[in-house]
Structure 1
Amino acid sequence: MRILHLINLDNVGGVERLFCEFISHTDPDEVTNLVFADSKNIAPLLVGTVKRHTQDIRFLKHWGKVKIPKKPASIRLNHRKRIISRIKPDLVLIWNQLSDTRPGDIPSDIPVVYYEHGMAWYTHSQAKERNFIPQIDGYIAASHAAKRMLQLKYDVNKEIDVCLNPIRNACMHYPTKIAAPDKSKPFVIGMACRLVALKAVNLGIYAIKNLQDSGIRCELRIAGAGPMKDQLVALSERLGVASSVKLLGLVDDMDAFYSGIDCMLSTSIHETFSLVSAEAMAAGSPAIVGKVDGLPEVVKDGITGFCITPRLTREQYMELEASSPNLPEKVYDVDSDSIVSPKLLDPADIADAVRQLANSADLYMRMSQEARQWSRSQFRFERYMDEMMQALRQYHPASPAGEIVPQTL
């Protein structure tokens, strides 16, 4: 099966990492990976994997050494149309982007599968949605929440296969926690995400303040980089908790990060699936997340951690912050199975969940063991690959091979 992947590889995120894991684990006797990337500016962390595991790579914004102008848009779109017609893949797999695809851009005899990993939550032009959705033959969603967003927002009535995000194989070998955290040391809370408004990391800092005011010794370790770093530093200093908030920047060794924390916290306003929570649980760290979107599919409330119902409105959040957060317009509410306006976690609720874990060794060890077993059984990488390939095989027609002219990055 010759799969042409349409994907933006300029930055490193969950989708891009997952794509690289996918192409590096496909059976070369069954799958030939071809890539149509947005540009030649492939993130350095991804280049090696892309080179090793793709037979051919083309670019939307480049033809050889020539950069294709942005306007008129038809130039780039016609370029992509020609490339797809020449390559004649057995299947086109679009990774989490509602691309500008006009009717007829992809030959009708080539199946098109869309992989949804969060793009359905964002606002797109009506013209893009009107042109894109009818051309999709099938869907793969990273969570049941992603599936429901496609159905509720876009009235998708075609097949949607759910393939839950997998944890890395290395996570299967984390040592078992044999004791609850030492109460003579600070209870360590971990966060790992981009430092942007959507992730609401500042709520974790407010929770640290709440915990320390109630006499709980704790520390917040934040792995990640982004434009909000300076604001987070200033907030921790203003609240008097700077010595207990560690901004680590980009962390290469996440295995060491997970082994050094006692629980994982996600304060994200929207999250299709929290891979860092799943990986932290594989290390035996209970996770605290919001009960929104795909997070309840990762964390079993009261068993592997806590799923807290968000209850802060935008206005209440603004009382904590100088400006309104960049909230998504809508999120998926699992209780009502509907699309609703977003809310945020209350720092007091976060602190209460941490307090329960820090104060009860029995509760902590029970959740630690459940989290470890749940994550390693539910999110195995082999399971993910089996489900992905089973989903893709549905759309694999007999098709003559097209032209392959490898290009260098």
Structure 2
Amino acid sequence: MNPTHFIRLQELAGTEMMLFSLLSRWQADHRIVTTTRIPDNVRVEVKPQWQTHRHKAPLGVHLPRFLNSMRPAIWQRVLGESDLLISWSQFKGKDLARAFKKRGRPVVHYDHGSAWSVDVMRGQRWLKEVDRIVCVSHAGKRMIELRLGVTDVPMDVCFNPSRRSLIEHRFGVSEISDRQKTDDTLVIGMAGRLTPVKGMLIALQAMRHLLDAGIKARLEIAGSGEQRDVIETSVASLGLEHAVTLLGHVSHMGQFYHGLDLFWSTAVRDPCPLTTLEALSYGVPVIASRVDGFPEQIREGETGYTLCCTQPLKSRPWLEDITGIATQVYDPDLDELRAPMAVDPQALAERTIAIVQTPGELTRLQRQALHDGVERFGFEAYYRRITNALTGKSL
């Protein structure tokens, strides 16, 4: 098998790390076609044996528009003996797809969450070109079926690996020792870009409820983004200055997760939440919104809990800024699409209190989270599943 991978390589995030780890493990003649130039900090991860091409410049120079009809033939020549095209969340590239079609070779769409936001007509046009689809969650599969109306293409689901397993697979990171707590403060963590869709303001309201209930707790938030000033203002107005820490960009996320007892994710939507997998892989149980891909990652009552989204957007002051997101999300209980809604911070606080006040509950959740992080979301398990799915062996 000689695959060609069509992907956007502009940063070294979760999807890009998955690509490089997969190519390093998968013994094949890999080629990479990128949608843009590759930045230097990403280029260093590309091994010399992986041939790379820019989509707009298959011959090394930008092709003028009048040569568009010739692109499939050009790609056939450039890609040589490549016999499988894998599109990593790209809803474009008909010239590439048709080059493979002419050879009778398969085209696979590997969707990492783009189905939530892609224009419906554009998504439908691209998926007519593919032979099979691989999604990172059942929610992603249903989004393609319900939102894009595509039901006649074989689809498989393959969960992402945790980022911890990716890092340790690539760099041999040693195991982290057992937690050594210095006091009885419950340390809660959140991570991700500080944007309204992540629901950080919901978490601040929940922290206020926790403290008012007499729970000794601290919230640490890793990440940077456009909403930092708003979050800082809310921290001050709620009197949480001594209970909430904004860490900004964190270089060593392992150390961050190692210091946590519990992880919150109050996102209004998230097709494939990587931070949840990270938390679980470090033995940190998760309380998250019951929407999109979260319930598939968290085993209810075993590695954490999910909370139903009951708060309409704009219904509370802390939900006013959540705009510009997908108009539909996947509801796993109804198995249908619905308008985005948010978790009730009171419910988040109550679930957290129930965990803390139940003897042995937090320790039980932590142990099971660590087990799932290894067994369900380890790299080797992912490698077996994804190679079977991409080559059609599991369908």
CA distance in 2, matches of 1:387, 1:323: 39
Report 1:305-316 matches (<5 A). 305-316=304-315
Verify the 8 A CA contact 1:222 1:248 in the aligned structure 2: yes
Please tell me the root mean square deviation across aligned C-alpha atoms, in Å.
Answer: 2.6
Note if 1:121 corresponds to 2:116.
yes
Note if 1:155 corresponds to 2:157.
no
Verify the 8 A CA contact 1:60 1:80 in the aligned structure 2: no
Verify the 8 A CA contact 1:95 1:115 in the aligned structure 2: yes
One-letter amino acid of the structure 2 residue matched with residue 262 of structure 1: D
Of 43, 57, 63 in structure 2, the residue corresponding to residue 47 of structure 1 is 43
One-letter amino acid of the structure 1 residue matched with residue 36 of structure 2: S
Deviation at 1:130, TM superposition (A): 3.8
CA distance in 1, matches of 2:132, 2:192: 30
Note if 1:83 corresponds to 2:103.
no
CA distance in 1, matches of 2:68, 2:245: 44
Deviation at 1:102, TM superposition (A): 6.1
Higher RCO (CA-CA < 8 Å; seq separation 6+): 1
2:233 counterpart residue number: 234
One-letter amino acid of the structure 1 residue matched with residue 34 of structure 2: A
- Partner secondary structure for residue 132 of structure 1: helix
1:266 counterpart residue number: 265
Deviation at 1:380, TM superposition (A): 1.8
Describe the superposition over 1:59-85 as per-residue Cα deviations: whole angstroms up to 9, x where unpaired: 13456775668xx6x767965762354
Note if 1:6 corresponds to 2:6.
yes
Deviation at 1:36, TM superposition (A): 0.7
Describe the superposition over 1:236-279 as per-residue Cα deviations: whole angstroms up to 9, x where unpaired: 12222133222222222111111011111111112223332222
One-letter amino acid of the structure 1 residue matched with residue 355 of structure 2: L
Distance 1:172 1:349, change over 3 A: farther
Verify the 8 A CA contact 2:137 2:158 in the aligned structure 1: yes
Report 1:312-323 matches (<5 A). 312-317=311-316, 319-323=317-321
Describe the superposition over 1:78-111 as per-residue Cα deviations: whole angstroms up to 9, x where unpaired: 6576235421421110001212536974341231
Of 369, 383, 389 in structure 2, the residue corresponding to residue 385 of structure 1 is 383
2:392 counterpart residue number: 394
1:222 counterpart residue number: 221
1:256 counterpart residue number: 255
2:281 counterpart residue number: 282
2:131 counterpart residue number: 137
2:29 counterpart residue number: 32
Describe the superposition over 1:348-379 as per-residue Cα deviations: whole angstroms up to 9, x where unpaired: 11111222233334111111122122222111
Verify the 8 A CA contact 2:287 2:305 in the aligned structure 1: yes
- Partner secondary structure for residue 311 of structure 1: strand
Report 1:344-363 matches (<5 A). 344-363=342-361
Deviation at 1:121, TM superposition (A): 0.9
CA distance in 2, matches of 1:138, 1:273: 20
2:175 counterpart residue number: 173
- Partner secondary structure for residue 247 of structure 1: strand
CA distance in 2, matches of 1:91, 1:334: 33
Verify the 8 A CA contact 1:172 1:282 in the aligned structure 2: no
Deviation at 1:113, TM superposition (A): 0.3
Q: TM-score, normalised by structure 1?
A: 0.85
- Partner secondary structure for residue 315 of structure 1: coil
Distance 1:172 1:327, change over 3 A: farther
Verify the 8 A CA contact 1:85 1:107 in the aligned structure 2: no
Q: TM-score, normalised by structure 2?
A: 0.88
Verify the 8 A CA contact 2:314 2:320 in the aligned structure 1: no
Distance 1:322 1:163, change over 3 A: closer
Report 1:304-343 matches (<5 A). 304-317=303-316, 319-343=317-341
CA distance in 2, matches of 1:158, 1:320: 41
- Partner secondary structure for residue 343 of structure 2: coil
CA distance in 1, matches of 2:199, 2:40: 25
1:208 counterpart residue number: 207
- Partner secondary structure for residue 314 of structure 2: helix
- Partner secondary structure for residue 220 of structure 2: strand
- Partner secondary structure for residue 232 of structure 1: helix
Of 339-348 and 243-252, more deviation after overlay is shown by: 243-252
CA distance in 1, matches of 2:376, 2:161: 8
One-letter amino acid of the structure 2 residue matched with residue 149 of structure 1: M
Paired residues in the alignment total 382
Of 81, 91, 94 in structure 2, the residue corresponding to residue 98 of structure 1 is 91
Distance 1:186 1:103, change over 3 A: closer
Verify the 8 A CA contact 1:11 1:43 in the aligned structure 2: no
Q: Which runs of 5+ in 1 are unaligned?
A: 396-409
Distance 1:350 1:261, change over 3 A: same
CA distance in 2, matches of 1:347, 1:117: 28
